Each structure stands twice: as C-alpha cells, then as structure tokens.
Amino acid sequence: MPKRIGRYTIMLTTLPSIIGNAGVVGKKEGEGPLANEFDKIHEDEFLGKDTFEKAESELIKDAVSHALSKANITPEDIDCCFSGDLLNQCIGSSFALREFGFPFSGLYGACSTMALSLALSSTLIDSGALNIAVAATSSHFCSAERQYRNPLEYGGQRSPASQWTVTGAGAAVVKNDDGDNPKIAAVTFGKIRDLGITDANNMGAAMAPSAAETISTFMSDTHTKPEDFDLILTGDLGKVGSRLLRELLFKENNIDISQVHNDCGTLIYDLESQDVHSGGSGCGCSASVVCSYIINKLRKKELNRVLFVGTGALLSPTSSLQGESIPGISHAVLLTSSEIK
Amino acid sequence: MPKRIGRYTIMLTTLPSIIGNAGVVGKKEGEGPLANEFDKIHEDEFLGKDTFEKAESELIKDAVSHALSKANITPEDIDCCFSGDLLNQCIGSSFALREFGFPFSGLYGACSTMALSLALSSTLIDSGALNIAVAATSSHFCSAERQYRNPLEYGGQRSPASQWTVTGAGAAVVKNDDGDNPKIAAVTFGKIRDLGITDANNMGAAMAPSAAETISTFMSDTHTKPEDFDLILTGDLGKVGSRLLRELLFKENNIDISQVHNDCGTLIYDLESQDVHSGGSGCGCSASVVCSYIINKLRKKELNRVLFVGTGALLSPTSSLQGESIPGISHAVLLTSSEIK
C-alpha cells in the first residue's frame, strides 16, 4: 500500500516489480553507444508504413509486444496501460494501443511521460487497484520535426543547444511479484516550474529548474543524499540542461549530484560523432534508455538504486508563437534492484 | 483501499468525497438550460486575454480557483492535480496550472478526460497515495474550432451530426472526508474501441461503441442493472451518439438504459433553439456539467447514484487526413450522494 512520506513523496510498500521491459529504436539510435541494449533496431524509419505518424504507432506496438512477450503474458492479462507521446492528441499511443484491447489511460507529460506512466502504474499496482499494468511511451524524429519545427525537406539549421528527438519507444510491464525483478520503490509527482525561458531550441534550460526542484523534494522527503544512489538519471536534459541542473542544485540546495548524475539524452548518442548537439530528447528517449539499458542493469544488479527523473517541457508551437515561456515538469521514480529490500 | 471487482472495475472502499466543485462557462453555455448551475458565466470569450488559447487557460484557472475556494482549501494543500484538455500538447492545462504550484499529472483522453481525471484522483486518494487531489478539464469553442477545423472567420457550414465544442471548464477537489459530500464509489478504465467510423463530423457515432462497452463491463463487473442508477450520464455523445448507444446496448447486451440515460452534450444546450446540431462536446462539456449541475444534485440528494461515463474520440486532424478511422474510449466513474453507504 502506498504510504506518503515528507510532503510530496509516495513510498510503494509492496515494491511493484518490472516483470518485462523493452526498448526499440530507429537507425540513428542503433548506431549509438547503447546499440546492444535495445530489443529491436528499425533500419526503416517508416517501419513499413506510409507515414511517420503511423510509424511511431508501430514503434509503441513493437515495444509493448516485446515487453509483454518477455514478461510471458498476453494483452488479456493487462488491467490498464498508461501511455502517451508527443504527437498532437497523442495519436502515437492511441492508434498503437487500440489493437491490444486492454484498458488505457492517456497521459501527456512531454518528455517526462515515461516517468509519469511508471509512477501511475506502480502506485496503482501497489494499492491493489490494478494487478498488472503497462507503462509505454514513444517519439519519432520525423513526426516530431515536422510537427514542432519544419518539414524535413526544409533542412533547417539546428542551434547549438538544440536536442535531437529520439526515434524510439519503451515499455515496462509492472506487477506485484516475488521474483528476481527490478522494483519501483517510490514516486514523486512534480510541480510545473517556469523561470521564463522562451528559447524553444534550448529546452534543457527550460526543464532544468523543475528537475532540480523534484530531486531536492525527493531527497528532502526521503532524507537521502546523492551518495545514496548509484545513479540519478534525468531524461532528457541533454548536455546543456544537465550542466544547468547540477549548478542549480549545488547553488540553491547545496546538493552535489555531479558524481552520480547522468542523462538519457547524453547516453543514447555519441555526442561527438553523431551531430546531435546537446543530445537526445523526446518521450522515446528516456523510454527506450530506461526500458532497456537501465532496467537491464538493475536486473543484472550492476545498478541497485536509480532515481529516474523524467523531465518534460510543456510548450507547444502555438504557445511559443504567442510569446509564452516554457514551463517544465519533472516526475521522479525510484528504481531498485531486487537486492534492495 | 481500492478493491478490484469483476474483470475491470475498481471499488473505492473509503468512498472519497468531492469536497469542492465548480463549473465555469462561456456566453453561449450561459444562455442554455443549465445557466443557473454554473459558478461563473464569462461573457467575454477572450476572458480579458489576447488569444483564445490563453482564454482557455483562464477558464481552467477560474474553475480550479472556485473549487478550491468552495472546499475552503489553498493550493498548498493539494497533493496532485490531474488535468488535461484538447489543445495540442495540453497547453490549456499546463499554462493554467503552473501558477498554483502544486504537483501535476497531465492527461489526454479527449472528451473523456474529466472522467479519467476523477478516476485517477479518487483511486489514488482511496489508496492513501494522495490526501487531497484536484481533477480539472477544459475546452474552448474558438481554440478548438481553429485547431481542429477552420479559422472562425471562414464561417464553415456544419453538418447535421456535428457537435458544438463547449467553452467551459470544470474542477473537483477530492479528499477522504466524513462530511455530507458526494462520493466516488467505483471506477472502470475503458478500452479503446474502433469500429471504423471515419467521419470526423460524427464523433458521437465513433464514441458510442466504447461507451456501450464500458457501461456493459461496469454492469457485469458490479452485477448492476440500469434501474440501480438514478442516472447514467454520458459525456459527450450528443443526440446522434446517444441514440446509437441506447440501440447498441439493447441489441448487443440486452441492456435498456433508455429510462435512465442522459448526455452532457444534450443537457448543456437547448438543441432546438441554440443551433448546435447534435449537441455539445469538448472536454469542457462534461467537465462543466458534472462539476456543477450533477455534483450539485448529488449534494442536494436529488440524485443518489449516477454512473458518469466520459466518452472521448481519440482522433487528430493529422490522423483523419491520413485516412485513419476514429478510435473511441470511455471511462466510468460511479458518483453517489452521501445517502449511499
């Protein structure tokens, strides 16, 4: 049963397990440093479909199918799926999931969505409201680029602080289980923070304050320090936002995470050779990294305590055109290996 | 604590209360039959802002402020807010809520969002994961019209089965409380149903199958019949979708809801005189009707058992242009007066 601790953190006393996880990606991500971690690398950016949006739906379907199969369960076993993406009206998720026939709760948290879906799934499992849930999220470079920026054919120049939307999806099946699986131990739903950043090409900077707030809230609520974690993993601040986050936390909260911090946006690509500027972004970035590399490492007990902080920029092209600044939000999920009780 | 019953329904054993509720609307809704029920009727469709999107954010802010004030609590008391809207990237909600400073979980369920936000809020309150939550949802005719259809200035002709997007928002504050407040007794998360309807001007027809499925699932899970409810309230199928729902349920499940069924989309306007064709729609339709008229009636015990079934059409302009059909989803929430134990 969930138990509140401090002001905003929820401890999951049954430690819901991740009984199946999968990350699937596109060609560029398959050429990056995590290539061997993914369940599938799709060389065709259309995934055999005729539009990028339909291709994105295929990515989610593929991630969910792999995760269900690795958990050795069928769609009929699922009580609810929590999923979202970046496409207008979240059509990536809804068109993907209609074929599975399980209940569905649609989410929108921009790039924080994977953390949000894990947070809701695990809290509802811990409470007994659900027995088995799926958390899933996606993004696709080509569908995002034309929706948020320019047609691909335009060949727009990218600014140095910009991030590259990951073509990828991740899915995790969550269940109470005694097995030797990674666990979800705690959750903090984040607040919206807006410090007035208006540069839509520097979303790392827009999201860093909310990440700092959620991390300091989690640590204060749970009386923990950076040394208590093997990894504090943000997704996706990129190189620019990551540096800002470390500075903010140190200057404002006297918390030094530099020894244990990493970011999904800097992990998924080789920033030197892959021409992605500040790193990866998009719902599918942290989804594919967490649901493959990170959960795999927890499964192998090469990591034991990971604070995953999904970071989202809650802007739209319309809000930017109307001169609005970019609100950020970050949700935290504490992932542990089965070593930790 | 939540307790699963049947295959997909969750009974909330602590019966979380709605300790504050508010519905705010625009001018046209204020000229309809529910005028006296709303907390505020905004005569200015811009609400003093310079764009329709910013006006929509004001609507949510206003609904949440009214609900908090009626519950006699402050934003600092809120553990999490569950909110969404129809605007791309849900900017209606996120820009509205950033000023309150409470944690936020973004949702996307199209017009089912109010039911989804009530479902998640109440289940997490019942489990003890949250103490006080807010559920809130909005839509705005002018922002929806230009995003989904045509610029207002174009003056497009409307087809007979089309629905009129409500300018309105609703908010409900949910908490475990012994007082004489309306309760949330059960929840069913719906499945996506897609029977291949492709006419984006007939969303009632696209959503009716999912409403039928969720209602029959709820009744089968809880061993109830239509006579067990004072009202089965869909939102928003409109006149066309409502007729289809009744036919579908009768023909396929032998369930006759005709004596107890009504729909938020047909309640909010006078269909004869207000030129809205099949009725109201939009996240703000069921939000403003349920969070004013319906919850007020439960509070006065003029209604005692209401099955509220939020219905959403999970399409986007892009999916329709790409020839996709329209998936529907419906989430059910059982609302009771404090008479029912």
> Is-same-fold flag (B2-175; B183-336)?
yes
Q: How far apart are CA A37 and CA B309, in angstroms?
A: 42
* pLDDT score for B285: 98
Q: Please say whether the beta carbons of A234 and A261 come within 8 A.
A: yes
In a mutational test of the A interface, the residue from B46, B139, B192, B218 whose CB has the highest number of chain A CBs within 10 Å is B192
- Contact state of A95 with B327 under an 8 Å Cβ cutoff: yes
Name the band, by pLDDT with cuts 50, 70 and 90, for residue A278.
very high
The pTM of the full predicted model, rounded to 2 decimals, is: 0.98
Nearest-by-Cβ selection for A322 from B54, B104, B126: B54
Q: Which of A82, A296, A79 is nearest to A181 (CA)?
A: A296
The Cβ of residue B298 has, within 10 Å, a number of other Cβ atoms equal to 27
The residues facing B26 across adjacent strands are B42
- pLDDT of residue B78 exceeding 80, the answer is yes
Mean pLDDT of B235-260: 97
Read off the DSSP letter of residue B302. S
Question: Are the beta carbons of B123 and A126 separated by less than 8 Å?
Answer: no
State mean pLDDT over B127-148. 96
* CB contact (8 A) between residue B110 and residue A129: no
At residue A103 the predicted structure's pLDDT band, cuts being 50, 70 and 90, is very high
- Composition of chain B by helix, strand, coil, percent to 5: 40, 25, 35
Separation in Å, CA of B272 to nearest CA in chain A: 31
Residue A279 pLDDT greater than 90, yes or no: yes
User: pLDDT confidence of A157, banded at 50, 70, 90?
Assistant: confident
Residue A169 confidence (pLDDT): 98
CB B249 within 8 A of CB B217: no
Mean pLDDT of chain B: 96
pLDDT of residue B271: 93
Q: Where are the domains of chain A?
A: 2-175, 183-336
Options 3.40.47.40, 3.30.420.10, 3.30.430.20, 3.30.30.60; CATH of B183-336: 3.40.47.40
**pLDDT exceeds cutoff 80 at B221:** yes
Residue A159 pLDDT class (50, 70, 90 cuts): confident
Predicted local distance difference test score (pLDDT) of residue B295: 98
pLDDT band of B170, cuts 50, 70, 90? very high
**Measured between beta carbons, which residues in chain A are less than 8 angstroms from residue B203?**
none
- The confidence score (pLDDT) of residue A240 equals 94
| Fold category of A2-175 in CATH | Peroxisomal Thiolase; Chain A, domain 1 (3.40.47)
pLDDT band at residue A156 under the 50/70/90 scheme:
confident
- Please say if the pLDDT value at position B240 is more than 90: yes
What is the average per-residue pLDDT within A132-147? 96
* Cα dihedral B313, B315, B321, B323 sign: negative
Tell me the average pLDDT across A84-99: 96
d(CA B93, CA B178): 30
What is the per-residue pLDDT across A239-272, written as a single tens digit (0 to 9) for each?
999 999 999 999 999 999 999 999 999 999 999 9
- By mean pLDDT, which of A196-205, B217-226, B253-262, B299-308 is the weakest? A196-205
- pLDDT at residue A341 is higher than 80: no
Does this complex have an ipTM over 0.95?
Answer: yes
**pLDDT for position B54:** 97
Mean pLDDT lowest for which of A54-63, A122-131, B202-211?
B202-211
Using pLDDT thresholds of 50, 70 and 90, give the confidence band for residue B160: confident
Helices then strands, counting H and E runs in chain A, come out as 11, 15
Does residue A182 contact residue A336 with C-beta atoms inside 8 Å? yes
User: B91 and A129: CB-CB below 8 Å?
Assistant: no
CB interface of B with A, residues 291-330, below 8 Å: 314-319, 322, 324, 327, 329
pLDDT for residue A3: 98
Give residue B252's pLDDT band: very low, low, confident or very high (50, 70, 90).
very high
Q: What is the pLDDT of residues A166-175, one digit of tens each?
A: 999 999 999 9
